[in-house]
Amino acid sequence: MGLVSRVGRKYAIYLPRKIVEELDISEGDRIIISVEDDRIVIRPVRRFFRRKPYWSRTSVKEIEDEAEEITRRTEKD
């Protein structure tokens, strides 16, 4: 799907509603932005994380493992 948008003030890029709905992106979601050849690629980050209850305990090892997984996936792409 290719839709036209424009760069706004301070280089802000506004995503078309159709794309936001298709990817289920919400305000405040984290994204990865990369350049591949002459293209800008934007991917949601949330798919990398395992969902945990809001008040769950997380160890330093779990955080490090998640960070390493994100790094591996972004470098692979």
CATH class belonging to 9-76: mainly beta
The predicted structure's pLDDT at residue 12: 92
Q: Would you list the domain boundaries of the chain?
A: 9-76
Q: Which of 34, 29, 61, 21 is nearest to 48 (CA)?
A: 29
The predicted structure's pLDDT at residue 4: 84
Output the six-digit token pair for 63.
């955080």
Chain Cα centroid distance, residue 30? 5
CA distances from 41 to 33, 45, 60 (A): 6, 12, 30
Q: pLDDT tens digits for the chain (77 residues)?
A: 678 888 999 999 988 999 899 888 888 888 889 999 999 988 888 655 555 566 667 788 888 888 888 888 887 65
